[in-house]
Structure 1
Amino acid sequence: MADPKSRAQDDRRSQDWFGGTGRNGFIHRSWMRNQGFAPDVFDGRPVIGIATTWSELTPCNAHLRTVSEAVKRGVWEAGGFPLEFPIVSLGEPMMRPTTMLYRNMLAMTTEELIRANPLDGVVLLTGCDKTTPGAIMGAASVDLPTLVITGGPMLNGKFRGKDIGSGTDVWKFTEEHRAGRMSTEDLYEAEACMARSAGHCMTMGTASTMAAITEALGLQASGSSAIPAVDSRRASMAQLAGRRIVDMVDEQLTLSRIVTKDAFHNAIAVNAALGGSTNAIVHLLAIARRLGIELTLDDFDAIGREIPLLVNLMPSGTYLMEDFYYAGGVPAVMAEMKSVLKLNQITVSGRTVAEDIEGAPNYNRDVIAPWDQPVQPAGSSTIVLKGNISPNGSVLKISAASPELLTHRGPALVFDRNEDYIAVSDDPDLEVTPDTVLIVRNSGPKGYPGFPEVGNMPLPKKLLEAGVTDMVRISDARMSGTGFGTCVLHVTPESAAGGPLGIVQTGDMIVLDAHKRILEVELSDEEIAERMAAYEPQVAPTSRGWEQLYVQHVTGADTGADLDFLEGSSGSMPARHSH
């Protein structure tokens, strides 16, 4: 082994571990060599951490082992030293009460593991909904050269000659089953037909949205986010990414040089064009605050007003992610909308956005519509509503809502817990009409706790049986990106934090005007003040562990629902050395 002091690359961060001639260097190199690494891997070459959210409890990410092997090939080829390590994995279909309770845990452990270990650059392997934003949040606070590889969507579901989409058709089929229009046997058959390959949801749900947004932010290679999980081109792109991260270390192309305010502009604009998940708003706000970038709900509304819906994918449209990839994917969308993008923003490629998307083809204009012939007009994606029951803002996904309900006035039917509503939703005597506004509260970050995806509560069975397909629903909860309906979400401040949604009573008249961005209860200021003075917020009881820490420190949905002590940067070096 060469004398560590003679290494040409002794300024690398990893050399604080592997480059020493005394006890520390001996310890770090010796223990790593028990894995059979050759002595010259410690000679100053870039050490690349491959942070993986692989887990058999996270079905969407269960194939990431093979993706990791492809990344390693690329790192070795480029002269780097790859080291794979696990970070917290969050499986949306499995975890209770909600993976959002643990997104910040993933972010915190990712941050600590990157900072605590001898890494010069990081590749984040993610896929399922919260794994992508959580890993990025953690990496952003350390700010090394960072590249993201998402696991890719499943192949299209196939059921009796028809394409079906994960999540979106789950809601549809289960509602049909509740209404007696779909048999249990047919439901079981559809279940087996929906998830027929490795990968995450193939609708434009949160997983696909965050993958596409990561590409729009410049953190994932152009053209890679939509490649199906089982397509060999995903492994090829992962190998190329492994090569590229080594160059990024040499170029000192850190995460904060890529993810700037202009990059957030591009991500918000692309999300609007995709008809992406409302969850993207919470995640982007959290990432921005990790980087010290000022980003507010108003930015989403202002940018989204100018962007038409270009992508015809469930739940806002017809097609699925496999079709989206074959049509041209994110580069084709960005090429269609380049007049409103910040084209000089740099990406992980080392090139600008303009260079990355130059000449990107659109192979199917029914899947990716041209700018001047959109699926829906400008302002059709997610909007921000404000009013006396959501003074800090709430969100509504226009593209997944019913047009006739976007201007609505009706009486509230209020439930303090989602469980309370579910318990009576099938009651044939429930006093509810199609004009009723369903309200479920105490489902925000503090209130549940964890901010669950219950905002698109199922319709009352008696209305389903009568043929009603949508109602106005209001909640301080979230909704799955695969969900649909006229659902006002993320009401802030949340009820458990003393927000005025907590004082709304059954029978109060609610006014929704999406065009004017208004959400109000028809009460006088004096009545609101009187009720607020008497209101006692309900915070879910906690006694120990992560849940207690979370409730004590989680911020509101309008600022990203991060932990207050994790906002901002930590820097890349440990505070102390132990050896």
Structure 2
Amino acid sequence: MNENQGDRRSSAWFGLDSPTGLIHRSWLRNQGIPASMLDGRPVVGICNSWSELTPCNAHLRDLADYVKRGVYEAGGLPLEFPVMSLGETLMRPTTMLYRNLVSMDVEESIRANPIDGVVLLCGCDKTTPALAMGAASVDLPTIVVSGGPMLNGKFEGATIGSGTSLWSMSDDVRAGRMTMAEMAGVEAAISRSAGSCMTMGTASSMAAMMEAMGLALPQNGAIPAVDSRRRMLAHESGRAIVDLVERDVRLSALLTRSAFENALRLNAALGGSTNVAIHLLAIAGRVGVALDLDDIDHLNRDIPLLADVMPGGGRLMEDFYYAGGVPAVMRRLGELIDRSAPTVTGTIGDMIAGAPCWDDTMIRPMTDPIKPAGGIAVLRGNLAPDGAVLKLSAVTPALLTHRGPALVFDGVADLKRRIDDPSLGATADSVLILRGAGPRGYPGMPEAGSIPIPATLLAQGVKDMVRISDARMSGTSGGTAILHVAPEAAVGGPLALVRDGDMVELDVAARRLHLDISPEELAKRGAESWQAPSPVYTGGYADLYQMHVQQADRGADFDFLIGCRGSDPPPAY
């Protein structure tokens, strides 16, 4: 045996000079692994969220082979294992319902098996936070490899982006400006390569966050999925994880307070997804880093939108990569970035020192931003005592302050049934409210918060309205949508007590969201009319979810998953 055998976590399986050790080693022999590979070298788990039911991640099986090459080259033994995969495009009711379940799968798979470090292969929206959360609760040396975005969509001579362009075309169909037959050609034109959304949706935002937090190699956030440099990054990540194991650099050493601050500031400059807030809160909870909505609001203040990527801008991730990607944006943020923060290969300072920007129109300087604000604003008031979030890069300036009458929808089914009813009675001043779509209410907190503009108003040329919900919104969506209202309606939050016609006041500069009724009237409504709603889904995992999920302001993680439980395996029998 190698003299370092006893220093490895995997030695508790493979380093035993006993029948038990022989059994563990012999079973790996049936895969053609020779004894020389079980001599004490680092055993690297490759946690793969590959699935053909997750189109964004369907190429990760190929990418895993390049990770393995790097691990072998650096002297390690790679062992790939699957976890449940979350495909935003196909799964119902919402992948967010299963994010915490996948994190449990990841955590227990890592802890229960003979691995010394882990590579997380992820891509589609919830796979990235789910894998990071699970790994954080074990705290082994860890590196993230994202699948990368698709190539730019091309349709009738125009560049089109995942989600963002589809939502716009869908509105045109509902308003009668476009037919479904005319829209049909976009089906093959918008998803023309492997990879995740090529807009700055949640997938690209979270891939960028992994890079900014030091958990991934430079350019992880932007290299297109089919670019050969994505495979090179996977190969180099395989080499890097072996080095992390040799130096015993645990995930907790990277997930510092500075890592979260850097990530949130970057997300603001990118005009990234509001979902980043809920996922980073959950990851922080796993490693014991104090982070709350007030921190997020503070870190996002006064950071302009620098990246010209849909939905906040007008271009796509492929262009963003060619312009310089995440390192270029972080360099342009200057002193707002903590360059001493550690990464899997050094420091953030090492990563962004001299990072070039090849296109000043794609990645703007701080003195000439695309928009004055790109980040997440946190609103509070009697309608959202524990907070709500708003994507500043998506807001229509004229709606930054607004007062209008509420028009309430009780759940997603009610919204779908009535939103295009000509008798709805909505005006451009109406404040559309969707409730019953929060963590417990749906359950799972679907991406229903970008409430459609009523068809009658679309036909009149109305392009945006104030919309409020306890749901989430796709990172590819825009508009003045106030999301993640906490506490949600299903647990008795004030959102449950709003009635049609109540006046709602929004003042983004003051971070205020107010329902214009007296505290006495609000309390009276709660006492007289509120009842806990019947669950939309019951039985099995849905019951577990509804019993233990926390509110959005705490990351919607399960209460029993908070904290790091360490890497000690269950006792052998």
Distance 1:543 1:414 in 2: 25
Give the aligned partner of residue 390 of structure 2.
396
Matched, 1:461 2:455: yes
TM-score (norm 1): 0.98
For 2:85, which of 83, 89, 92 is the aligned residue?
89
Aligned partner of 1:45: which letter? R
For 2:505, which of 487, 508, 511 is the aligned residue?
511
Distance 1:505 1:537 in 2: 17
Matched, 1:127 2:123: yes
Contact 2:442 2:536 in 1 (8 A): no
For 1:346, which of 332, 342, 356 is the aligned residue?
342
Contact 2:198 2:316 in 1 (8 A): yes
For 1:201, which of 197, 201, 211 is the aligned residue?
197
Structure 1 residue ranges (4+ consecutive) displaced by more than 4 angstroms after TM superposition? none
Distance 1:38 1:101 in 2: 42
Give the aligned partner of residue 273 of structure 1.
269
The aligned runs of 1:163-182 (5 Å cut-off) are 163-182=159-178
Give the aligned partner of residue 227 of structure 1.
223
Contact 1:46 1:79 in 2 (8 A): yes
Give the aligned partner of residue 319 of structure 2.
323
Contact 1:442 1:539 in 2 (8 A): no
Q: What is the total number of aligned residue pairs between the two structures?
A: 572
Contact 2:112 2:570 in 1 (8 A): no
Give the aligned partner of residue 552 of structure 1.
547
Give the aligned partner of residue 306 of structure 1.
302
Aligned partner of 1:392: which letter? D
Distance 2:303 2:453 in 1: 31
For 2:188, which of 175, 187, 192 is the aligned residue?
192
Aligned partner of 2:398: which letter? E
The aligned runs of 1:177-576 (5 Å cut-off) are 177-349=173-345, 351-377=346-372, 379-534=373-528, 535-576=530-571
Give the aligned partner of residue 33 of structure 1.
29
Distance 1:522 1:429 in 2: 25
Q: Deviation per CA, 1:337-376, whole angstroms, max 9, x where unpaired? A: 1211111011011x11111111000001111001121111
Aligned partner of 1:498: which letter? G
Q: Deviation per CA, 1:15-58, whole angstroms, max 9, x where unpaired? A: 00000111210111111111111111111000000000000000
* Shift in Å, 1:542: 4.1
Q: Deviation per CA, 1:250-292, whole angstroms, max 9, x where unpaired? A: 1111100011001100001000110000000000000000001
Aligned partner of 2:183: which letter? L
Please tell me the root mean square deviation across aligned C-alpha atoms, in Å.
0.9
Aligned partner of 1:147: which letter? I
Aligned partner of 1:546: which letter? Y
Q: Report the more deviating stretch, 445-454 or 412-421.
A: 412-421
Contact 2:100 2:558 in 1 (8 A): yes
Distance 2:461 2:536 in 1: 39
Distance 2:155 2:302 in 1: 37
Contact 1:510 1:519 in 2 (8 A): yes
- SS of 2:7's partner is coil
Structure 1: any 5+ residue segments left out of the alignment? none
Matched, 1:58 2:54: yes
Distance 2:114 2:70 in 1: 19
Contact 1:496 1:539 in 2 (8 A): no
Aligned partner of 1:477: which letter? A
Aligned partner of 1:24: which letter? T
Aligned partner of 2:413: which letter? E
Aligned partner of 2:162: which letter? S
Distance 1:305 1:291 in 2: 25
Distance 2:423 2:347 in 1: 60
For 2:145, which of 133, 149, 157 is the aligned residue?
149
* Shift in Å, 1:539: 4.6
Contact 2:270 2:374 in 1 (8 A): no
Q: Report the more deviating stretch, 129-138 or 538-547.
A: 538-547
* Shift in Å, 1:541: 4.5
Contact 2:200 2:310 in 1 (8 A): yes
Q: Deviation per CA, 1:519-564, whole angstroms, max 9, x where unpaired? A: 0110011111111223213252443211110000000000000010
For 2:41, which of 22, 38, 45 is the aligned residue?
45
Distance 1:295 1:490 in 2: 16
- SS of 2:90's partner is coil
* Shift in Å, 1:463: 0.6
TM-score (norm 2): 0.99
Distance 1:234 1:533 in 2: 57
Q: Deviation per CA, 1:375-412, whole angstroms, max 9, x where unpaired? A: 112x4421000000100000011111211111110000
For 1:116, which of 112, 117, 132 is the aligned residue?
112
Contact 1:110 1:138 in 2 (8 A): yes
Distance 1:567 1:8 in 2: 33
Q: Deviation per CA, 1:300-344, whole angstroms, max 9, x where unpaired? A: 100100311111110011110000000000000011012111110
Distance 1:262 1:195 in 2: 36
Distance 1:537 1:433 in 2: 31
Give the aligned partner of residue 158 of structure 2.
162
Aligned partner of 2:532: which letter? P
- SS of 1:519's partner is strand
Distance 1:275 1:541 in 2: 33
Aligned partner of 2:523: which letter? A
Structure 2: any 5+ residue segments left out of the alignment? none
